[in-house]
């Protein structure tokens, strides 16, 4: 954006997955006073705010079908309809869209509109997963260590050789976001002059590998006593799922979007699960936005 002809215009970003469906339409397209309960004043949506500039729609693959249709119309007609509005509002906006999903596969599955996909898919930039660009791991780790030390008022510390080896050997299913979370936590927990491996807590690939291993038929006499799934035997599936979700969320410092990405589920599915757990009286990590800089993760039961 800063290097484009729209650099003088605004850059507006919106994470589609971070908002409930009931609020996303108003956030995107705006609303008039009295359009719904609580609409005490008219409000411009993100598209109007980005007029003559650029709008970034992050996690576009999480958008629900009826909003996909409204977005398609906004792109085609270059205008938006505010909720409760009597006339459309003209817009001049460049759209950037990002997703961790394979949108072509989502189209084939009927979860993403084909016409919207082709409207958005003009120029595609694919960022390879972190496991395919190992040379980036340590520079990124040092960058995050520096950033979070500065944010939290802590001394700058490098990574020990053992910590570097640990980072290079991890598959990073959550990509750069997982790496960022791991270094954020390590900066807060590390003791001494370097960040050692003891301060780095990684989401092991074992939960996913264990599922695959459990599907392989092996005679009981040949099964090792230390099988990674041995501790799961005798437990209900919903209990195992709950523990995995809460453990992942805790390691992501309460970031719902990142946890959902690592777990391979939608943000809405994750929210529904957490709502269910709260109703059962289970402690749930609060959202990352509720934490002050440097604050360690507490639990909430509300």
- Digit-by-digit pLDDT tens for the chain (302 residues) are 988 999 999 999 999 988 888 789 889 998 888 877 777 788 898 999 999 999 999 999 999 988 999 999 999 999 998 888 888 999 999 999 999 888 999 999 999 999 999 999 988 888 888 999 999 999 999 999 999 999 888 899 999 999 999 999 999 988 898 999 999 999 998 888 999 999 998 876 544 444 444 434 444 444 444 445 555 666 677 888 888 888 888 877 788 888 888 888 888 888 888 988 888 888 887 775 544 444 444 444 33
What domains lie within the chain, and their CATH numbers? Answer: 11-120 (3.40.50.300), 130-199 (1.10.8.60), 206-290 (1.10.10.60)
Please give the pLDDT value at position 231.
57
Please give the pLDDT value at position 110.
92
Please give the pLDDT value at position 249.
85
Please give the pLDDT value at position 19.
86
- Determine the Cα–Cα distance for residues 129 and 70; give it in Å rounded to an integer: 31
Annotate the chain with DSSP letters as a single string: -TTSTTTTS-EEEEEGGGS-HHHHHHHHH-B-TTSSTT--S-B--HHHHTTTSEEEEETGGG--HHHHHHHHHHHHHTEE--BT-SS-EE---EEEEE-SS-HHHHHHTTSS-HHHHHHH-SS------GGG-GGGHHHHHHHHHHHHHHHTT----EE-HHHHHHHHH---TTHHHHHHHHHHHHHHH--SSEE-GGG-----SHHHHHHHHHTS---GGGS-TT-TTGGGTTS-HHHHHHHHHHHHHHHTTT-HHHHHHHHTS-HHHHHHHHHHHHHTT--BPPPGGGSPTT-----B--
Please give the pLDDT value at position 224.
47
Please give the pLDDT value at position 297.
43
Please give the pLDDT value at position 261.
82
């Amino acid at each position: 954006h800063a290097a484009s002809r729209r650099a003088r215009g605004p850059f507006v970003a919106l994470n589609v997955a971070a908002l409930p469906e009931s609020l996303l339409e108003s956030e995107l397209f705006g609303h008039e006073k009295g359009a719904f309960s609580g609409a005490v004043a008219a409000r411009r949506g993100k598209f109007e705010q980005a007029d003559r500039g650029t709008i970034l729609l992050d996690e576009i693959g999480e958008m629900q079908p009826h909003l996909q249709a409204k977005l398609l119309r906004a792109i085609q007609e270059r205008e938006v309809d505010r909720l409760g509005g009597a006339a459309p509002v003209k817009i001049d906006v460049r759209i950037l869209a990002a997703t961790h999903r394979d949108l072509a596969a989502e189209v084939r599955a009927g979860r993403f509109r084909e016409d919207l996909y082709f409207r958005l898919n003009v120029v595609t930039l694919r960022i390879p997963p972190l496991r395919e660009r190992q040379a980036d791991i340590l520079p990124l780790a040092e960058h995050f260590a520096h950033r979070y030390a500065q944010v939290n008022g802590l001394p700058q510390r490098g990574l020990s050789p053992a910590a570097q080896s640990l980072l290079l050997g991890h598959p990073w299913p959550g990509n750069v976001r997982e790496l960022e979370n791991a270094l954020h936590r390590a900066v807060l927990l590390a003791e001494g002059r370097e960040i050692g491996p003891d301060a780095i807590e990684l989401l092991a690939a074992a939960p996913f590998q264990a599922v695959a291993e459990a599907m392989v038929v092996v005679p009981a006499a040949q099964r090792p006593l230390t099988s990674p799934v041995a501790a799961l035997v005798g437990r209900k599936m919903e209990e195992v799922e709950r523990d995995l979700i809460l453990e992942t969320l805790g390691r992501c410092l309460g970031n719902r979007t990142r946890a959902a990405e690592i777990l391979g589920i939608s943000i809405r599915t994750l929210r529904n699960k957490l709502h269910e757990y709260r109703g059962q009286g289970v402690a749930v990590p609060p959202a990352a936005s509720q934490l002050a800089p440097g604050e360690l993760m507490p639990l909430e039961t509300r």
